[in-house]
Structure 1
Amino acid sequence: MSVGPGETVKFHISSDRNYTVDYIRLRSPADVFQPGDPLMPSLSRSAATQSVPPAYAWQGFGWSSDNFPPLQIPPFEPSDGANTWKSGYYAARCCSDDGSDFYIPFVVRPSKEDVAGRYKRFAMLASTLTWNAYNPRGGRSQYYDGKSEVTLGFERPFPFARPCGPYLPIPGTPTDAYYASWDPEFNSRHTLRADLWLASWLEDPPRNYQVDLFTDLDFHIGEFNPADYAGLILATHPEYWTVEMRDRLDQYLSEAGSLVYLGGNGLFERVEFPLDFSKMRVSGRGPGPGFGNRWLFRFMSRPERSVLGVAYESRSGSGPYFTRAADHRFFAKTGLEGQYNKPFGQSGLTSPAGGDGTQGAGRACGWEVDTSATVDDDSAPLCTTVLAASAGESEDACQMVAVEDCHRGCLVYSVGSLCYGGSLVQDEVLDRILQNVLGECILIATLRHELPMLRWLLELTHIWPPEITPPRPPEGPDWRLLEDFLADSRPDSIQAVLGRAIHPAFKGERLKAAALQMLRDRF
């Protein structure tokens, strides 16, 4: 599912039509599908079909890759152009003679040697475990009733992982009644298509955030260290996780990490790899009501709410957010500062193109939503601030929160909705809030990396010991970033940034505690 520069991708294709293949970088700003131009010359292939084994939902299709040449990812070239190889979402776009097409998506990881300035970039996870859980190919998915455990192969075509609609199946590909009962165009809006809205928003001007993309399997095996980055971004639907992933996340946050959770129903259910990484095992929808038979993290005494500040409680909704703690620094420059119960996120792309006609409905809060409120004992951390909430099936069904853990020095920003990304690309308030969050993450990471800058800032705020002379601020983009922040920030913003920047920068607990106390006294 992911590949790095110099590594090879093998494609397993069956078609009873002649077809051409183009390799493209996937983008979809504002639901206008804008893939880059082909990165290589088009390939023309003759029809060649392959048989499908009876148990392909569990075992995978088992198709050979001999009838299609492998793709080696070339080295990355320094360029800001749209048609160069860099980390992100890609696909082999297969177009048959009759006009039907199919996308085989894959993730390109960053170069392992590209470490310079990584602290100003973000790591983002593609939720491929969730995608596989929802894949109905073969008449089975995690949502097929009747099994207490389900094994699902990764080596299956996945039409939901489509960057655009509508979906037209390639003639000759296998189907069945269970698969046909799903709506691929609608379900693409919580898988790849929705993640492309987020990824395109992040990298497009005027924001120009630098993002390195990984799969959740990469996170499982430790392919990268999130502490090297300004923050870790979870996309639209990170529902299924392994215990190893959760362990790595908990460790990262315990070391003052920054987590930006831009979806809903996250960190909900455990999956495992039974033998290798070609298939995964997950709890099925066996007999019995509710979640009693499911492998939920909350049943392992590791509730997701303790990390994210919110959790899925089988609630849905269809509406905008309403401001709650609008005096929080993340509302700066939104025009809603200090105003209670004001709506935002009133339009969006996750409209009811299928399903029951109510999910999403083109607003920021909907489909599957998370809340900090709970009916059991897995309460949100005490340091959780509810920034905004919607009124769905019940009051505050969906909540946007910030978890600012002063003890661990971490920050978690959670939006609590599958429909968030489709609204982000249209709503100026959501845009500004997320820029405030990401900008703070970058500044904190920069201060931790550039200790002379941190000392200079502490001197300005009368915190650094006077016997130590700070250096004069040199010219450079990092210092201009700090200058802009100081010129435009409220005292509580400076306090929050310095408090988190100090946290891992000092080795001595007493010095750290003294500096934090001086910071509190200052403001």
Structure 2
Amino acid sequence: MSTSPTKNVVGYTDPIAVMAGETLRIKVSTTAKQVRLGVRRIEGAFWSSEAGPKVSLGNAEGFEGTVLAGKHHKAPLGSYATAPVAEAMRVSATKTFGLLFMPTLMGRRQTIARFYDADGADLGGVSVEEDGHVAVVDATDAALLRGGSALERGRWTAIAVTLAQPAGGVVLAIAPLFGNVSMTGAERQVEGLETAHSLSLGARISGSLPCEVVDGRVADPVLASANARDIASALANGPEGWRRLTRAHGAATIHSRWDFSLFPESDRVVDVGPARCDAVLVNTPTRAITGPFWDGSVFDWRQRPGHYNAVHFHSDDLADCGWPDALALEIPQGCASGLYGISLETENGSDVVPFVVRARRASRAPVALLLPTFTYLSYGNAPTAMRGPNHGITFYPDESPVDGHSGFGRSHYDRHKDGSPVMLSSRLRPVLSMRFASLPWGIVPDTWLLTWLRQQFGQVDVLTDEDLHREGTDALAGHRVVVTGNHPEYYSAEMLNALDAYCDGGGRLLYLGGNGFYWRVSVSDRVPGQIEVRRTEDGTRAWIAEPGEGHHMMDGGYGGLWRRLGRPPNRLAGVGFAAQGFDESGYYKVNPDARSGPAAFALDGVGDTFGHHGWLGNGAAGQEVDRVERRLAPDADVHLIASSLGHPQSMLRTKEEMLSTVLPFTDPKARSDIAIRFAGRSGAVFSVGSMTWVGALLDGGDPAGRNDVVRMTANVINRFLDPAPFRADR
């Protein structure tokens, strides 16, 4: 795809979904002088093989446009920690800082620790230089000394610096784990530390923004009155080193020691020293990672927290842009549920930021669309190569680079700059891949689905994954039929529990996609809208978690596939992820037995073969597909309606399906199945097992104008809207 022009305005909302009477906070950054802000309702969405996705924006009743003064806000990329400095440290004659450090990316200057006075003025600190040598710098950034040898990438090292002492200058002590301490000294010392009010770990703070951010792991940072040699030795010689240190010097020698193995809150680090100066983590660095003394004896950080006493800072972490409100928008009473956009326009640029208005329980429509927003976040700002095939479109305007910004954080399909996996993703930032004129992977196909649903059934309410996670079945109550988007891949346990309960209680669900209910996610309570994914030992995945790091930091649960966690998608949907391929899509052939079975209503007026058309690969069965596998859900009441044909050999079975490698062959299990699972007398789930199904709903169909994809989907929804039970004997 060729390089696209840049945009000069971008925004995001907090939250993504609101109800009438609630407030939507709108965040905007622009290099223009003014921004015209309006609210638009998504009226329709279409596809052009030449120009790509098209969306029709209508006026939203009850909203008035406004003009905002243009302001540019930077994205504060990079994670770090801040903490108060104890009074005992300020008055101590000897001031020593130490920690265990493992660099994971070299080649640029990185700040390990920096001290500031009460006004925020920089007093100096400890850095790693471009060549890997540790340096101690003063308030002017002048190096007072450099270590004698460079640190090694990927290796834990104990570092301690006596920054000030009664007689003499700076002393730097460095030791490998369980190794000898090497010393370096200089005549000068860091001045002004008697006024130190706070410190930063993992970055230097300049104008409230992080810079010189560390890519690396930190454990057991400490402020003490002992000398650098003794601190480095204590750090390097395992957890028991502290006992020897305090026996030799007394417990008061330690002022602050921050313990990353304790998880009282996700953004707080407990100071286990006497000062109790707890640190605060910014931009959610990764926790629940192995520390310097992990020995492989446990793989769950909750079992031996001392083996997980580390945090991993990244220079490209971004949990929350923290931009001020450009506008606090109150949603008018009576505003209809639906998918909306905040229109931001300048003289030569624009952005449309999606948001959802939900329906209150008393006024909910019979049909609701459940947008898979956790999937949107998981793929948020991911490279286009990780989001489906190339459709031949020159560029997607909404994914253009933005003036004044180098990026807005990464996706779960990326690695950090240092090569470590990206486990966290947040909605508190611009997500350019979650736009109406972006690559058709995520929200774009779901706008096609919403357009078709509204054409067929009138008012269709909209809700999001986050609503389902936080409210459970209350989010679904009042809707007779709930329809998923085309790729509900990322699910929390709370969401699965809610859908199970909804269907068991007589609710009807249409799963109109593929590769659904696949990866386990955790959701942050401290950073709303942030989700965590840890890809463990199986599954089709962009990376795999490091050994010992499969348990989530947010809740301690084991990560990976729901199939590996005992909840295969087949138990809910009747089908589960089977294969993927991004060339031409296939079509369906009806299972003859289905015409006389309990799911026969789905086939009313449907031919024996259908789905030879669609905007995504020219077929209704493609990209990522699911099939019936009865051994994964042996007790489920699943009825096969149709199976796909016509896939090229590039449609390959998923990794977790293969027990060994084989020569290329025509694989009958690399297919999509359409099925219905009945739950009790009245509940049901209809599943199409294909991500390209929704691309066939608005397409014209075959040359005769017949569209059996539309006919079958409408058949099912109409029957699902009928409250009559499916089984009289249950």
Mark yes or no: TM-score above 0.5: yes
Closer, same or farther: CA 304–211 of 1 in aligned 2, 3 Å: same
1:227 Cα deviation from its structure 2 partner: 4.8
Matches within 5 A, 1:262-273: 262-273=512-523
Within 1, Cα distance between the matches of 2:353 and 2:489?
22
1:13 corresponds to: 28
Within 2, Cα distance between the matches of 1:28 and 1:397?
34
Find out whether 1:349 has 2:615 as its counterpart: yes
1:302 counterpart letter in structure 2: R
- For the Cα contact (< 8 Å) 1:27–1:196, is it kept in 2? no
- For the Cα contact (< 8 Å) 1:150–1:283, is it kept in 2? yes
Instruction: Return the match for 1:162 from 416, 430, 435.
Output: 435
1:238 Cα deviation from its structure 2 partner: 0.8
Within 2, Cα distance between the matches of 1:273 and 1:109?
20
Deviation track 1:403-444 (CA, whole Å, cap 9, x = no partner) reads 243645421111112211111112321111011000001112
- For the Cα contact (< 8 Å) 2:361–2:477, is it kept in 1? no
Structure 1 unaligned residues grouped into runs of 5+:
77-84, 165-184, 351-360, 448-497, 503-512, 517-523
Deviation track 1:258-305 (CA, whole Å, cap 9, x = no partner) reads 110111111111111233352434234579985675521111101111
Within 2, Cα distance between the matches of 1:406 and 1:130?
26
Within 1, Cα distance between the matches of 2:535 and 2:638?
35
Within 2, Cα distance between the matches of 1:54 and 1:406?
47
2:204 corresponds to: none
Matches within 5 A, 1:186-225: 186=439, 189-204=440-455, 207-222=456-471, 224-225=474-475
1:59 Cα deviation from its structure 2 partner: 1.6
- For the Cα contact (< 8 Å) 1:135–1:160, is it kept in 2? yes
Matches within 5 A, 1:80-479: 85-98=335-348, 100-114=349-363, 118=365, 121-136=366-381, 138-145=408-415, 146-147=419-420, 150-164=423-437, 185-186=438-439, 189-204=440-455, 207-222=456-471, 224-284=474-534, 293=545, 295-316=560-581, 318-325=584-591, 327=595, 328-334=600-606, 336=607, 339=608, 342=609, 344-350=610-616, 361-373=617-629, 377=632, 381-392=636-647, 393=651, 394-395=667-668, 397-405=670-678, 407=680, 409-426=682-699, 427=701, 428-444=707-723, 447=724
The alignment partner of 1:383 has SS state of strand
Closer, same or farther: CA 112–250 of 1 in aligned 2, 3 Å: closer
2:41 counterpart letter in structure 1: R
Within 1, Cα distance between the matches of 2:42 and 2:540?
38
The alignment partner of 1:14 has SS state of strand
2:138 corresponds to: none
Closer, same or farther: CA 406–271 of 1 in aligned 2, 3 Å: closer
1:237 Cα deviation from its structure 2 partner: 1.2
1:30 Cα deviation from its structure 2 partner: 3.5
Closer, same or farther: CA 288–230 of 1 in aligned 2, 3 Å: closer
Within 1, Cα distance between the matches of 2:360 and 2:569?
31
Closer, same or farther: CA 347–53 of 1 in aligned 2, 3 Å: same
2:411 counterpart letter in structure 1: S
1:74 counterpart letter in structure 2: P
Closer, same or farther: CA 345–91 of 1 in aligned 2, 3 Å: same
The alignment partner of 2:27 has SS state of coil
Within 2, Cα distance between the matches of 1:5 and 1:213?
13
Within 1, Cα distance between the matches of 2:18 and 2:586?
38
Find out whether 1:54 has 2:77 as its counterpart: yes
Runs of 4+ in 1 over 6 A off after TM superposition: 286-289
1:143 counterpart letter in structure 2: Y
1:46 counterpart letter in structure 2: A
Closer, same or farther: CA 332–311 of 1 in aligned 2, 3 Å: same
Deviation track 1:69-93 (CA, whole Å, cap 9, x = no partner) reads 21111111xxxxxxxx310100101
Deviation track 1:214-251 (CA, whole Å, cap 9, x = no partner) reads 11111112273535321221111111111111111111
Within 2, Cα distance between the matches of 1:124 and 1:279?
19
Instruction: Return the match for 1:34 from 31, 39, 56.
Output: 56
Structure 2 length as normaliser, TM-score? 0.51
- For the Cα contact (< 8 Å) 1:298–1:378, is it kept in 2? no
- For the Cα contact (< 8 Å) 1:381–1:403, is it kept in 2? no
Within 2, Cα distance between the matches of 1:62 and 1:46?
18
Closer, same or farther: CA 412–286 of 1 in aligned 2, 3 Å: closer
- Per mean C-alpha deviation after superposition, the further-off stretch among 388-397 and 431-440 is 388-397
- For the Cα contact (< 8 Å) 1:123–1:214, is it kept in 2? yes
- What is the aligned-residue identity percentage? 24
Structure with greater proportional strand content: 2
1:377 Cα deviation from its structure 2 partner: 4.6
The alignment partner of 1:70 has SS state of strand
Closer, same or farther: CA 415–290 of 1 in aligned 2, 3 Å: closer
Structure with greater proportional helix content: 1
1:395 Cα deviation from its structure 2 partner: 3.2
Q: CA RMSD in A?
A: 2.6
Closer, same or farther: CA 112–215 of 1 in aligned 2, 3 Å: same
User: How many residues in Structure 1 have an aligned counterpart in Structure 2?
Assistant: 395
1:209 Cα deviation from its structure 2 partner: 4.0
The alignment partner of 1:246 has SS state of helix
Within 1, Cα distance between the matches of 2:516 and 2:539?
21
- For the Cα contact (< 8 Å) 2:40–2:340, is it kept in 1? yes
- For the Cα contact (< 8 Å) 2:43–2:58, is it kept in 1? yes
Larger-gyration structure (1/2): 2
Structure 1 length as normaliser, TM-score? 0.70
2:371 counterpart letter in structure 1: A
The alignment partner of 2:497 has SS state of helix
1:462 corresponds to: none
1:308 Cα deviation from its structure 2 partner: 0.9
Within 1, Cα distance between the matches of 2:476 and 2:682?
15
- Per mean C-alpha deviation after superposition, the further-off stretch among 380-389 and 299-308 is 380-389
Within 2, Cα distance between the matches of 1:380 and 1:202?
32
1:155 Cα deviation from its structure 2 partner: 0.6
- For the Cα contact (< 8 Å) 1:389–1:397, is it kept in 2? no
Closer, same or farther: CA 202–22 of 1 in aligned 2, 3 Å: same
Closer, same or farther: CA 372–69 of 1 in aligned 2, 3 Å: same
- For the Cα contact (< 8 Å) 1:305–1:380, is it kept in 2? no
- For the Cα contact (< 8 Å) 2:319–2:527, is it kept in 1? no
